[in-house]
């Protein structure tokens, strides 16, 4: 059938997408000779229908939230209501030119202004800028503002950012990008930040601390107010990583916990399909102290109710611009529609149902004898189970379970993260799953464990029902094979992979 062949391997020399159309068009005039290609680009020579079938077949193999339970959760892809997308695609939005005068874009700007306002309200902060175009850029903006704040006060000794060891890897990376040194703070055995270690670490070199709350361990930092006091008294600022905002939306506000700056992954929490590499939107929110440093432009509204762009003329101490115009407008509009649909009440129901579903699933799995990490803690929107005991007693690893879940029609949860917990799965069902779906997942987990106890070799061979069986991850990483070149035929010639990796 050749279905698994790469698109490059399906063609035939000279074949074109539009076989019935008139012959080749003449080359356009006026291109300087120096810029003309000497040989044709190595593109696939396939018919239009071959292309359509190839990509449609691939898309049908997708494990997607539209077809399967996806316990990676809001971290990667929660369900995004169709309405957010349809309304963001209204022609008035789509056809608006970014350089159109503001008098022609008052509706668009009103949406952004209201979104800024709603995000400030739900995070408990003084101002919001929507321009960062990804979570990583939002983090960068946040820490760059912390740097700008200390610099504006001539407080140049603040060279360190504190990061708990449970943090997302992006946090230390961001701190380093912004020129800081990273100091790691350990976690205590209950999953909270080690307060004693924090007290010892803060000082005149502390620029700030980057925290995720609830943390990546799926539990809420119970001493957050105390932590805020310790860091503030030392002269540092608090950065909130919005990765887990879904858990507290409308219930607790980072500003009220003492945070000075936050980035919000609008593409995770606020309804844009995500997990395919973007586009994203990493809006930032700030307290009063950081307002002058916000990235621009933001939307302002004057007394007559007219909207305008706030620029460097108004905010000369801004850290600058992070996108050519106004960030990823499409993502921002989806977030706006989603927020307006939920309203204040709906916003807190997101957090309530996300938390309820996580705690229901955690309790059911514990009843079935799975080892819940931090078993005396309530889960936030996600929780961790560890297969350490099953691995020791039966050889069943978290990876085996993750692979076998695919055969049962469930996307695997996050595996082997957070790094602090051995043989772990991090499970986040999100607010939109039904109880029947959660019960089905529990039944699959129980069945898989029993399969492993009965016949470990069979479990090690999973998945069986997928187009691709268990990958040799070690070999894939050691013998990197990322590019196709004319003449390659990876389906038969495995030696090319090794050759190219060298």
Q: Which residues bind other proteins (CB under 8 A)?
A: 189-191, 371, 373-376, 386, 388, 416, 419, 422, 473-474, 477-478
Least separation, in Å, of the C-beta of 385 and other proteins?
Answer: 11
DSSP for 186-218, please give it. -B-TTSSB-HHHHHHH-STTEEEEEEESS-TTS
Q: Is the dihedral of CA 146, 148, 154, 158 positive or negative?
A: positive
Strands, sheet with 261-265, edge to edge from the N-terminal-most edge strand: 127-129, 282-286, 261-265, 237-241, 206-212, 160-164, 181-185
Smallest gap, in angstroms, from Cβ of residue 502 to other proteins? 9
Q: How far is the CB of 380 from other proteins (least distance, A)?
A: 17
Q: Give CA–CA dist 460/399, Å, rounded.
A: 9
Closest distance of CB 479 from other proteins, Å: 10
As a whole number of angstroms, the distance between CA 216 and CA 166 comes to: 6
Alpha-helical segments (H) within 95-192: 106-123, 135-152, 170-177
The whole-angstrom separation of Cα 336 and Cα 330 is 10
- Choice between 195 and 356, CB closer to other proteins: 195
Nearer to other proteins, 199 or 475 (CB): 475
Query: How many CB atoms sit inside 10 A of residue 146's CB?
Result: 29
Q: Is 360 or 417 the residue whose CB approaches other proteins more closely?
A: 417
In terms of CB distance, is 400 or 433 closer to other proteins?
400
- Min dist. Cβ of residue 261 to other proteins (A): 27
Pair of tokens at residue 433: 């799953």
Angle subtended by helix axes 435-454 and 329-367, to nearest 10: 60
State in angstroms the smallest separation of the CB of 427 from other proteins.
17
- Best CA proximity match to 354, nearest among 79, 115, 122, 124: 79
455 in helix, strand or coil?
coil
Beta carbon nearer to other proteins, 3 or 494 = 494
Q: Which is nearer to other proteins, 181 or 435 (CB)?
A: 181
332 neighbors 270 (Cβ within 8 angstroms) = no
**What's the rounded Cα separation, in Å, for the pair 383 and 372?**
8
Instruction: Pick the closer one to other proteins by CB: 83 or 419.
Output: 419
Query: Min. distance of Cβ 344 from other proteins in angstroms?
Result: 37
> What residues are paired with 182 via a beta bridge?
161
Q: Yes or no: say if 82 and 342 are a contact pair by the CB < 8 Å rule.
A: no
- Closest to other proteins by CB, 66 vs 393, is 393
Could you tell me where the beta strands, DSSP code E, fall in 289-332? 298-301, 307-310
Residue 291 DSSP label: G
Minimum distance between the CB of residue 157 and other proteins, rounded to whole angstroms? 21
List the helix and strand counts (H, then E) for the chain: 17, 13
- Within 13 Å of residue 266, how many CA atoms lie on the same side as its CB? 35
Nearer to other proteins, 199 or 478 (CB): 478
Nearest to other proteins of 222, 388 (CB atom):
388
Q: How far is the CB of 390 from other proteins (least distance, A)?
A: 13
The span from the CA of 492 to the CA of 17, in Å, is: 27
Sequence-ordered list of residues with C-beta below 8 angstroms from that of 97, at least 6 positions apart, any chain: none
- To other proteins, the closest distance from the beta carbon of 386 in angstroms equals 7
Closer by beta carbon to other proteins, 172 or else 327: 172
Q: Cβ of residue 495: shortest distance to other proteins, in angstroms?
A: 17
Considering the complex, state which of residue 192 and residue 428 has its C-beta at the smaller distance from other proteins.
192
Say which DSSP state 414 is in. E
Judge whether 160 and 237 are in contact, CB under 8 Å: no
Q: How far is the CB of 415 from other proteins (least distance, A)?
A: 8
Maximum pairwise Cα distance, the chain: 77
Helix, strand, coil tally for the chain in percent (to 5): 40, 10, 45
């Amino acid at each position: 059938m050749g279905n698994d062949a790469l698109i490059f391997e399906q063609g035939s020399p000279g074949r074109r997408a539009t076989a019935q159309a008139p012959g080749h068009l003449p080359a356009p005039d006026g291109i300087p000779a120096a810029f003309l290609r000497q040989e044709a680009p190595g593109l696939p020579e396939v018919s239009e229908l071959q292309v359509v079938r190839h990509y449609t077949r691939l898309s049908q193999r997708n494990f997607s939230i539209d077809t399967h339970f996806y316990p990676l959760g809001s971290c990667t892809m929660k369900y995004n209501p169709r309405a957010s997308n349809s309304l963001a695609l209204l022609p008035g939005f789509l056809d608006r030119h970014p350089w159109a005068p503001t008098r022609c874009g008052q509706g668009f700007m009103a949406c952004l202004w209201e979104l800024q306002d709603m995000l400030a309200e739900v995070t408990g902060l003084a101002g919001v800028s929507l321009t960062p175009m990804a979570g990583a850029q939002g983090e960068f903006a946040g820490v760059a503002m912390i740097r700008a704040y200390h610099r504006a006060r001539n407080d140049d000794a603040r060279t360190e950012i504190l990061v708990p060891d449970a943090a997302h890897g992006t946090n230390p990376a961001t701190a380093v990008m912004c020129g800081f040194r990273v100091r790691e703070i350990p976690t205590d055995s209950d999953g909270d930040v080690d307060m004693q270690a924090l007290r010892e670490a803060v000082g005149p070199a502390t620029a700030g601390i980057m925290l995720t709350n609830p943390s990546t361990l799926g539990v809420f930092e119970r001493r957050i107010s105390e932590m805020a006091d310790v860091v503030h008294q030392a002269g540092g600022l608090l950065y909130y990583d919005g990765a887990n905002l879904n858990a507290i939306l409308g219930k607790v506000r980072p500003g009220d916990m003492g945070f000075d700056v936050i980035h919000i992954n609008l593409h995770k929490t606020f309804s844009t399909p995500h997990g395919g590499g973007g586009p994203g939107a990493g809006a930032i929110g700030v307290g009063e102290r950081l307002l002058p440093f916000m990235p621009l432009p933001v939307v302002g509204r004057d007394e007559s109710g007219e909207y305008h762009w706030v620029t460097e003329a108004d905010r000369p101490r801004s850290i600058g611009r992070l996108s050519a115009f106004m960030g990823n407008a499409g993502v921002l509009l989806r977030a706006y529609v989603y927020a307006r649909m939920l309203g204040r009440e709906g916003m807190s129901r997101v957090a309530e149902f996300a938390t309820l579903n996580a705690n229901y699933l955690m309790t059911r799995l514990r009843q079935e004898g799975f080892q819940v990490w931090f078993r005396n803690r309530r889960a936030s929107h996600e929780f961790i189970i560890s297969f350490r005991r099953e691995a020791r007693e039966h050889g069943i690893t978290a990876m085996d379970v993750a692979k076998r879940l695919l055969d049962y029609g469930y996307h695997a949860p996050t595996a082997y993260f957070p790094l602090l917990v051995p043989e772990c799965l991090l499970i986040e069902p999100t607010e939109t799953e039904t109880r029947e779906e959660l019960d089905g997942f529990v039944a699959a987990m129980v069945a898989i464990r029993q399969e492993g106890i009965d016949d470990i070799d069979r479990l090690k061979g999973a998945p069986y029902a997928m187009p691709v069986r268990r990958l040799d991850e070690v070999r894939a990483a050691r013998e990197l094979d990322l590019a196709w070149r004319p003449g390659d035929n990876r389906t038969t010639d495995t030696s090319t992979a090794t050759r190219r990796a060298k």
